[in-house]
Structure 1
Amino acid sequence: MNLLGITVKEIIRGEEPQVREDVPLKEAFSVMREKGRGYVLLTRDGRPAGILTERDLVRLINSGVDLRKPAYLYGNKELITCRADRSLWHALYLMLENSIRRLAVVDYENKFLGVITVEDILKVLEDDVFDRDLKVRDIICKRKFTYVNRNTSIKECLRIMDEKNIGALPILENMIPVGIITESDILKNFDDMDLSDSVEKYMSKPVITVEEDKKVYEALKIMEKQKIRRLVVVDNTGKVTGLIAVTDVLRAIGGDFKDFIQKLKHVKDILDIFPEVVLELVDRSFQEQIVIWQNKKAKEILGNLLDKDIKEIFPEIQWIQFYTQLIKEGKIERYKFYVNSSVYEVSASYLPVENKLYTNGKINLLIRDITKEEEQLKSTLRIIENYRRIINSTEDLMIIYEASTGRIKLFNMATLKTLAYTEEELKKMTIFDIIQDDHSIIRNNIERIVREDVVIRGERHYKRAYGDVITVEVVATKVELESTPHILVVARDIRERKKMEEELQESYRRLRLLYDFTLALNVCTSEGEAYNLLAKTLVEKLGVDSLTVYMINPSLNRISGIIHYGQDMQECMETDIDQCKVVLSTQPLVYTPDGLIDCPFSKVPREFSYMCIPVVSSGRIIAVLSMFSKSKDYFGGIVKELIESLVNTFSPFISNLRLIEITRELSIRDPLTNVYNRRFLMEVFEKELERSRREKRQLSVVIFDLDDFKKLNDTHGHIIGDTALKHVTTLVSNSIRAMDLLGRYGGEEFMIILPSTTKEDAVKISERIRKALKTNPLDIGDNRIFISASFGVATFPEDGESVEELLKKADERLYKAKREGKSKVVYR
């Protein structure tokens, strides 16, 4: 195992719990609980600014701190961070020097990436690091442990855990474990915990235990498997003798955390076999950096350098420049030193320390003699200069790079112009710094070109100096420079061609969308279905955030209905449309935050864009579509044109559907009262009866006839008679359920179909209607006309099995009601 060879990034757990530092403590601990990590990072501008742990929660509750206070007041601000590209050795050094269990991992810009813990590092250690003969009793016998009984209050448990700085308390009865209360249990219940409750209410059970005769290595494996940080230790009788935690295991490896680091000293033994020079320096001051360790290769090439100033090896001026940059950046790669006739490539890392009594920090150097490479490069450059004049005459990009390393050796002016790098930048780059495609595929192609002498063609994606990526068409072949295989790439910028292809694809997508929309419209059978299709197309296919449809009655010039789709949007019109710009102009209106056109009635936030467009039928506006997008330039040329095309296609279809619906309504409605006519009632009655028979449910029918209606007509005239019929249907409609059907059976006779209704309920409904008629007379000027009706009720299946039988029964009972004095409900 090479801890220098493993980077911190490789053991980061993944997504870490984090909140802004200004959130309330309660919210911070809620996130900690949700993520189940035992801690939460406090961030400021995306960077770690502090940390809260389960132990902090115990301390704060015990101290009576109001958890509504901001988290940054109580979070640990001394948060130690570690760059993701650092080695685990570096991470362990930081943990040792700062006596901490966790490190926050950040990238080059100090953006938070994750957290690593001592436990994480333990997981990557080789098994032979552990002393397999060390037993659990050897650890716990050296110290006492604290426990409570099940009647102890949770408040007392918090006090003990806070004062003794411990993370768990076993709950024992006669030294037998019945539960355990841990920091995690406190976190789980903190927001509804009553401190006067006994610990039994919140403790975890059953308790995970380990026998004291077990080996420490086995205890660690149990904790790893159970995903816990501590175990209750018991003897062979099951009685508790102590607790063991991960930190105890760590100390057990060598008696102390520093001793644990010593067990990893074999890392330097590995460095001894490196083919490069490796040095370790201590930085005692700006003027003095002393070698404290060197590998065998360093001693072989440079002699004994121990206790010598590094400036004895490198020129002082060069070293000071290097050292200054190293202190500033913390890491340098491939820095060239020129010493007499030799050239050295040096990579270094700097590890500062807080306790500067002895040293400011440590410097690790990896030194490689590249003198021969530099000489060969110069020779190669002289050769390829002859090619430069040739390849600069083409507008295509031409790049020659070394097959084995990918290092760019030659390029033409078109490459500089297209990729926007400087000559100095390109000379330091490899082809893999530019190509953004899978490098394993590129390496495989290089190997094929070199071995099989094939020509590779295809598309690649090149990264420009500005950070953007362009698509190029390449032809790659093998060339020889000084008997060394190189790759010649001729690349053509095809951005314009790609742009045209994308525009064609977009045009095809729009046409396809319009085609599919038209096909779908052809099978719509109602206005509602058509509007739903239009809304789905605009919201789901085009990505409009919200759509509101204002249905307009062109005869009344008023809004007749409003439908919302997508995100909620406050309505800009309620009933009147006189001030609507779209209605007034009959033209679409598009608003963008940077534009000049706006509607004073719009409720869309000013930072969004919106579009309103009319739906026109036979030259009259029948609806206005109002939609918005959170993108400020969403309703640009292409989208606007597509929406207009969709609406223009939609308008004649909706006109036809409206005519069809109107015709259908006329065919099933009584023209005077607007209730269903007899033909439609009979169709529905047959269907409802069949369904009731199939589902074994009751069905009732009511026939009622207005009493003395002929007399009313003779006395007041047919116009008043017609008004009376409308008055009756209005009262009855308000007295029945939405599922019930009311229709005109003939003249002054009406029928009500009552699905899933017993006779008892049908009688109640009839009585309610009878009373409503009696108590709501028809007022005509100064005249008050009282209207009554007689009712006959029949119910399936007790009164008949067919429509004819039920209608006959209901009709007979209606006339029985007439004979018995009118204004009566007869049901048997």
Structure 2
Amino acid sequence: MPIVDENKKPVGILTEKDFIFKLELSNLSEKIGNVALKEVYTASKSDPISQLKLKFKNLKVNHLVIVDEEGRAVGIISTRDLLGMAKETYASYMENKFRQAKDLLYILPEIVLEILDLGYEQVIYWGSAKAHEIFGETIDEKSVLEIFDQEDWYRVFGKLKKLNKVHKETIKSLNGHIFEVSGSYLKLHLEGEGKIHLVLRDITHNHRYLTELKSHAEFIQKLINSIDSLILVIDPEDGTFKFYNHTVLSCLGYDQKEMAYKTIYDIVYLPYQQIKTNLRMVTNEGKEIKGERLYLSKNKEKIPVETYAFRLILDKSYVAISSKLKPIYQLETLNKELSLCKSQKEALSVLSKYLLNFIDTLQFLEISPETGEILSTYVEGDQDLWKGCIENKAKECKAYSHGILIEKTEILCPKVKAEK
């Protein structure tokens, strides 16, 4: 408190500390003016707070007497008072900022949700304008399981509890939307309770498009895997394989794990520099290269192929190579496979696989040399096309009896003609 004279001019100050300690050591009849601090520093009541801060700092004191225009004491201020004001101002500032942030979140194009985890259930207690638009005006105080697919929610919620955050998880809502969700989990003081903040982006259209695209890609990959040509897509920078079909694996004898460590330089039987030059010609100059090559199998066997290389532009330029095995190699391979067969049925299957590269249907007949009757048949390929064309007697089949090849456009069997 300030000590003033008869004109209310400050002549000293008595602080709480002075009052407690000095008066305990003094006679209680001692005049307060004798106990009070004589050195008084003042500040005008019109001084801004910033100037008071500077005075406290420069004078190295904890109290200033506030005076009016005529120098009369009207109060006292301490550094503790300033600290309290700062705390109050900061709290007010933060409250205002939080209110502004909430207002901003409310109008964001993304969906923003604040959810209270009660331990036994999670309840929405605030949602942005977009959240109300998508989920309805009455989402406040609803359980999240009234909004989201249960399995998806428990998956996302489990990660939130474990990691205190999630980033770009996918979650489905009960109204058919699909969202990309990111957010955080804040544990509260109460056991098992917490606050969840989520930001959701509606990716329903993109998700469906990507799902369809993935389905088409899988179909195309299955189609490519089903053809006999060896298909390779190569990164020209290092020669690694961006893609290869199943025929590459079966022909070269590698599995997928082994192919991951292979490059085009391991596969093509040519000098390194020549392969590199060819890759550069295709990617940089757009040239197409055709010709005969030798591929090296896992067992170092040289496999003759006819290749066609061209530029393929995806996220960048790649080299795509389509290669067909040369017929002479196919026959050699066929002979090897036939020699390994342990039964007639296995041999017929191997032979059919080879011959069906050139024709539509195969029907092998086991015929009794004595009676000419068909003892057994083995059919591969388009079975519906020739179904029922063989009678019990083999001689009734013109293809068998005349040794001719039946074309689709010229079916000689009267029985098949009648059915068609």
TM-score normalised by the chain length of structure 1:
0.22
